[in-house]
Amino acid sequence: MEFSVIVKNFDFLIAQGLLGFGNFVGGTLRLAVPAIVLGFVLGIFIGLGRLARRPWIRIPATIYVEIFRGVPLVMVIFWFWFIIPVLLRVALPEYGVALTAFVVFEAAYLGEIVRAGIQSVPRGQMEAATATGLSSAQTMLYVILPQALKNMIPALVTQFIVLFKDTSLASIIGYVDLTKAAQIVNNREIRPFELYLFIAVVYWLCTYGMSLYARHLEQRFTPSV
């Protein structure tokens, strides 16, 4: 055991690998955080689309979910990396490709969570809001979504954690995230045990932090009885 390898390469692993500041395009958090935020926003629209009464909204949303839920994430990353530049005749940067692939892919899963969350709110809530003259957008915004969001928190956080860990797949197109950074250091130092144990701890600390925050949110959204 020679943990000095961690100390020696700490800056590279954390600044470059986790945060994305360094000579390479990369950073686990720099990819995961915007992917979670944008994926969730797109997911809300997909989820609402799945529940729309108008078929020209509902059917495309359903097809979207079925397509992206049915293919591996690695393949989606490859599509954006190899196929889109050919079709559009422009070269896309690694970061843009990775972020787009994650947002597009995760929105399918998050959309299903949003749909289930909305459907978990009793029908009477919508009827009560409608009966007082609220529009369907107002009903969704002030009555249904706040309740649905609370019910969604456990499933959402699980999906966010999955997404966070899946960002390591971006390394296949040369994106230097935490996993890739550890690989680079390991190629030089040959200390796989120490390096991969260290990044496992870093991943775990981040995801456990997300779990704790979710628990806190869930309590905050529960009216004190």
* CB 125 to another protein: min, Å: 6
List b or e across 111-129, with b for residues whose CB sees 16 or more CB atoms inside 10 angstroms: bbbbbebbeebeeeebeeb
Nearer to another protein, 132 or 187 (CB): 132
* CB 135 to another protein: min, Å: 6
* CB 130 to another protein: min, Å: 7
Nearer to another protein, 137 or 205 (CB): 137
Interacting residue ranges for another protein, rule: CB under 8 A: 122, 124-125, 127-135, 138, 142-143, 146-147, 150, 221, 223-225
Burial (Cβ within 10 Å: 0-12, 13-18, ≥19) of residue 209: exposed
Tokens 């997404």 appear where?
Answer: 163
Nearer to another protein, 70 or 223 (CB): 223
* CB 158 to another protein: min, Å: 22
* CB 219 to another protein: min, Å: 14
Nearer to another protein, 139 or 179 (CB): 139
First CA to last CA across the chain, in angstroms? 52
The phi and psi torsions of 224 (rounded to 5 degrees) equal -65, 135
Burial (Cβ within 10 Å: 0-12, 13-18, ≥19) of residue 28: buried
Nearer to another protein, 148 or 173 (CB): 148
Of 16, 169, 59, nearest in space to 106 by CA:
169
